[in-house]
Amino acid sequence: MIQKGQLDLRKFVAPEFVCGHGALQLAGRYARNFGMKRVLLVTDPGVRAAGWADAVGESLTEAGIPFTIFDSLSPNPRSGQVMAGVEIYRSEECNGIVAVGGGSPMDCAKGIGIAGSNMQDILTFEGVDRVPVPGSPLICIPTTAGSSADVSQFAIITDEERKRKIAIISKTLVPDISLLDPEPLTTMSPELTVDTGMDALCHAIEAYVSNASSPMTDLHALEAIRLIHTALPAVIDAPEDLNLRFSTLLASLHAGLAFSNASLGAAHAMAHSLGGTLDLPHGRCNALLLEHVISANYEAAPDRYDRIRAIIGRGQDEKTTLAEMVAAFRKRLGITETLAAAGVSEDGIRTLAAKAYADPCLVTNPRRLTCEAIERIYAYAL
């Protein structure tokens, strides 16, 4: 692992955020403060059916701001869907975007913003710092606790032709504000709660062991791990408990502030490849890969992994490894399948590994992994 000192220069980016019950109702006020005259409200059919898009729409209406709803997007937002959103944004003469939902609507909204302002196809921005012109003002209201798209400088978009996810990383993608309200989380299914929670755990662990970590990101990563470990199992048994829901939302916030500035690692690189190829839920992909990536990386950052183990392993047998603890945690939450059960075949591993090897998240993995090493990790997870 590349060791860096705490005195090394670091840049830390974060949006404004408002936390607490009722934050959702501030959407109209902030849209008006940002000078939005007409809003593109980006959401998805599930969030709309749950009533949260309408609730945000009411706030916009009360503030005197007209809006157009765009909800034609899938769980893994596709490049074509982003460009369709750009067309609606232009035709409706919008000058601001409000995203309501999980990672998919928020990533799609980010894509619409930068593709529209730069007048280029969304796929041209793949990579790091390749967005010349910032997007339009963006307000995010997360309805899940895990993606952290509401506070990060990342957007993950599926390239439909190549069946792969691309990562766009730029400070121009950091939203203007995140309104963190626990109430929308109460309509999440148990499965979605677990998948997004495991995504947050993976964000936090990978940020903490990243070779771009710093004292600031460490604080957020460790607190996210603590909160997820205690609150996620509890909220499954009490889904209406706003205090527990807020704890998971706070965990997602901490994890997002950590990984947005320290980046991620092999688990996310491999999950992006897996999700892009088979269109699987991102959080579930991370959950099935995380323990195997920890095993592969451990010798490159033993002190850091041991610090994580101390948080989630209190009272457990000293011989139990962190990887085993993470495996037991996700099984306790009901994630018991393997990659094979999710549709991965041994014949497809080489292609998956090649895509993961090209993912920018791999750059900050604590251990330098070859393509062959990535193939072995996939094979262990089958």
**Does the fold of domain 190-381 match that of domain 22-181?**
no
pLDDT score for 298 = 98
Q: How far apart are CA 295 and CA 305, in angstroms?
A: 10
Query: Hey, where are the domains in the chain?
Result: 22-181, 190-381
pLDDT score for 4 = 64
Pick the CATH number of 22-181 from 3.40.50.11540, 3.40.50.1970, 3.40.50.10860, 1.10.630.10: 3.40.50.1970
Q: How far is CA 214 from CA 6, 117, 122, 218, 310, in A?
A: 7, 33, 31, 6, 20
> May I ask the CATH class of domain 190-381?
mainly alpha
Burial 200-219 (b: 16+ CB within 10 A, else e): bbbbbbbbbbbbbbbebbbe
pLDDT score for 111 = 98
pLDDT score for 201 = 98
For the beta sheet containing 127-128, the strands, ordered from the edge strand earlier in sequence to the opposite edge, are: 127-128, 164-169, 154-159
Q: How far apart are CA 106 and CA 149, in angstroms?
A: 6
For the chain (382 residues), the mean pLDDT of every run of 10, in chain order, is 69 95 98 98 97 98 98 94 98 98 98 97 96 97 97 96 93 98 97 98 98 96 98 97 98 98 98 94 96 98 97 88 97 96 94 96 97 97 95
- Read off the pLDDT of residues 138-189 as tens digits, 9 standing for 90 and up: 999 999 999 999 999 999 999 999 889 999 999 999 999 999 999 999 999 9
pLDDT score for 1 = 47
Q: How far apart are CA 257 and CA 365, in angstroms?
A: 18
pLDDT score for 204 = 98
pLDDT score for 73 = 94
